[in-house]
Copies of this chain bind each other. A is one copy, B any other.
Amino acid sequence: MIVPLTVSDFLDRAVIAYGDRIGIIDEPDQPAPSLGSLTYRQIGQLTQRYAAALDSLGIAPGERVAIVSHNAARLLLALYGVSGSGRVLVPINFRLHPAEIAYIVEHSGASVLLIDPELAPALADVPFKHRAILGPESDALLGCSQDPPKPWQRDEQATATINYTSGTTARPKGVQLTHRSLWLNATIFGLHSSVTDRDVYLHTLPTFHCNGWGMPFVLAAMGVKQVVLRKISGPEILRRVEAHGVTLMCAAPAVINAVLDAAQHSGKPAPGRGRVRIVVAGAPPPTRTIERVETELGWEFLQIYGLTETSPVLTVNRGRAEWDALSPSERAQKLSRAGAPALGVSLKIDDQGEVLAQSNVVLEGYWQQPQATADALSDGWFHTGDGGTIDEEGYLTISDRKKDVIISGGENISSIEVEDALFSHPAVAEVAVIGVPDNKWGETVKALVVLAPGKHASERELIDHCRARLAHYKCPTSVELRSELARTATGKLQKFKLRAPYWEGRTRQVN
């Protein structure tokens, strides 16, 4: 018997098997009225009402509903209710510029836009058929029908979400992920990270990002309590881990650093020792960070690797019994690799050193960009744009991403963090931060910047902008203005190309 794999399966199971359980604890501290604690039965009812409201608004399955929001229960409800009823959710990065958000909304053809109250003033001019600020306004819009929702023709190959890739490219591209891709990604991720109904999950990852890596789906299926965290803060993460008995979270490396700092400054043992699993991706964290997670926090460190284009899980690295006897730093070294292919993923490295993947988690295509789709999927493989190697243990290591970590004077610097700081300057359209050789410090930070059309900024001004936001050691010591930056077919910066001229004649590309 063939039953289409659709993301509604996950919440359906939660409602049947965990109806009385608290499914979501909304962020108490937010501009909209908090939804408090919701059982999975209530979540099911609310998402059914969302579906019925979309019916009554004339928004058919296949139509797009955009949302731009910090982490919030209402964002999770939209994920379950919009995608789960056959509409296509377009979750938008709340860090984007209003003009970029307007572009995404227009490009995706979304007929509804749901907006975080904090972002509403900046987005007041984005025109929409239906538009609501998350809170009473969206509750009214999405609760406008008391009818049961219409059944929809389930199709596992239909698009469930369109996630626009981060605004580091000139034009963000809409990654179309099908129900089948999301279903398999969530289930396989749950298997590899051993999600059980005894877990308590803290949303330390922006949910808009690859749909929270698929976690919200498998968490629902397993009846997991989900604690929403609106804004990242190390001390607040520790407080919630303790208060809610958190066992599982996903995070980018910067979040880990915030947690480690908070634990170090708290003057007491970190909560969750021997209980918490933290899944990290987004960039390979330094080995020392991994070691600190496992020794200072006593949390289990898992690494995954993937992209928005791959739902995202391509590889998984989780501590093995064989490594138990290793020293903490040797174990951290093992864990610093991207990992082994997840179930159902085939990887290979092409003769250019690029990582290629085949899997059901790979995107259907870029929304309305057939050429970009064809480029990314040429030869039947998805081209990640990342350089990597596969070792004798079958583990992938991303070598070009690794170079995103600059080591200057013995301090690790995340080039992404510096890029983020530069992006917050209004004149910056594109940026790549790289490490270049330096006699005193080994490496030093250089920023390559493309200015926005009609905007101006001096090298001094950009460095000062970073210094106002980051530790001084992280800030660029030089800035070069460029007209464009080398990128792959998938829009990823080709840092190895950008870095090459500065390292010419040297045997290593890191110092």
Chain A residues close to B by CB (< 8 Å) = 1-3, 5, 9-10, 12-13, 16-17, 19, 21, 157, 180-181, 187-188, 190-191, 194-198, 218, 221-222, 318, 320-322, 340-344, 346, 358-360, 362-364, 377, 382, 393-395
Q: How far is the CA of A12 from the CA of B358 in the complex (A)?
A: 13
Cβ-neighbour of A1 out of B13, B16, B362 (below 8 A) = B362
Question: A14 → chain B, closest Cβ, in Å?
Answer: 10
Cβ-neighbour of A191 out of B5, B21, B195, B377 (below 8 A) = B195
Question: A189 → chain B, closest Cβ, in Å?
Answer: 10
Instruction: Select from chain B the residue with minimum beta-carbon distance to A9.
Output: B344
Contact A321 B17 (CB under 8 A): no
Contact B341 A2 (CB under 8 A): no
Q: Known interface pairs A187-B191, A197-B320, A318-B197. Does A360 touch B19 (Cβ–Cβ under 8 Å)?
A: no
How many copies the complex holds: the figure is: 2
**Chain B residues, Cβ within 8 Å of A181:** 1
7 A-B pairs with least C-beta separation:
A17-B340, A1-B362, A16-B394, A191-B191, A221-B343, A17-B394, A9-B344
Question: A23 → chain B, closest Cβ, in Å?
Answer: 14
Task: Please name 15 further chain A to chain B contacts, defined as beta carbons within 8 Å, in addition to the given A1-B181, A197-B318, A198-B320, sorted by A numbering.
Answer: A1-B358, A1-B362, A1-B364, A1-B377, A3-B344, A5-B344, A13-B340, A13-B341, A16-B341, A17-B341, A19-B394, A187-B187, A190-B191, A191-B218, A197-B320
Q: How far is the CA of A198 from the CA of B300 in the complex (A)?
A: 14
Q: Known interface pairs A9-B343, A187-B188. Does A1 touch B394 (Cβ–Cβ under 8 Å)?
A: no
The contact sample of 29 A-B pairs, CB cut-off 8 A, is: A1-B358, A1-B362, A1-B377, A2-B157, A2-B180, A2-B360, A3-B358, A3-B359, A5-B360, A9-B343, A13-B341, A13-B343, A16-B394, A17-B341, A17-B393, A17-B394, A17-B395, A19-B394, A21-B322, A187-B187, A187-B188, A187-B191, A190-B191, A191-B195, A191-B218, A194-B194, A194-B196, A197-B321, A221-B343
Question: A455 → chain B, closest Cβ, in Å?
Answer: 39
Per DSSP, are chain A's interface residues mostly helix, strand or loop, or mixed? loop
Question: A492 → chain B, closest Cβ, in Å?
Answer: 18
Q: How far is the CA of A377 from the CA of B346 in the complex (A)?
A: 35
**Chain B residues, Cβ within 8 Å of A360:** 1-3, 5
Q: How far is the CA of A395 from the CA of B17 in the complex (A)?
A: 7
**Chain B residues, Cβ within 8 Å of A16:** 340-341, 394
Question: A382 → chain B, closest Cβ, in Å?
Answer: 7
Question: A1 → chain B, closest Cβ, in Å?
Answer: 4
Contact B197 A10 (CB under 8 A): no
**Chain B residues, Cβ within 8 Å of A2:** 157, 180, 360
**Chain B residues, Cβ within 8 Å of A321:** 197-198
**Chain B residues, Cβ within 8 Å of A5:** 344, 360
Contact B1 A359 (CB under 8 A): yes
Q: How far is the CA of A221 from the CA of B460 in the complex (A)?
A: 54
**Chain B residues, Cβ within 8 Å of A218:** 191
Contact B198 A10 (CB under 8 A): no
**Chain B residues, Cβ within 8 Å of A340:** 13, 16-17
Instruction: Select from chain B the residue with minimum beta-carbon distance to A200.
Output: B321
Q: How far is the CA of A77 from the CA of B319 in the complex (A)?
A: 28
**Chain B residues, Cβ within 8 Å of A346:** 3, 12
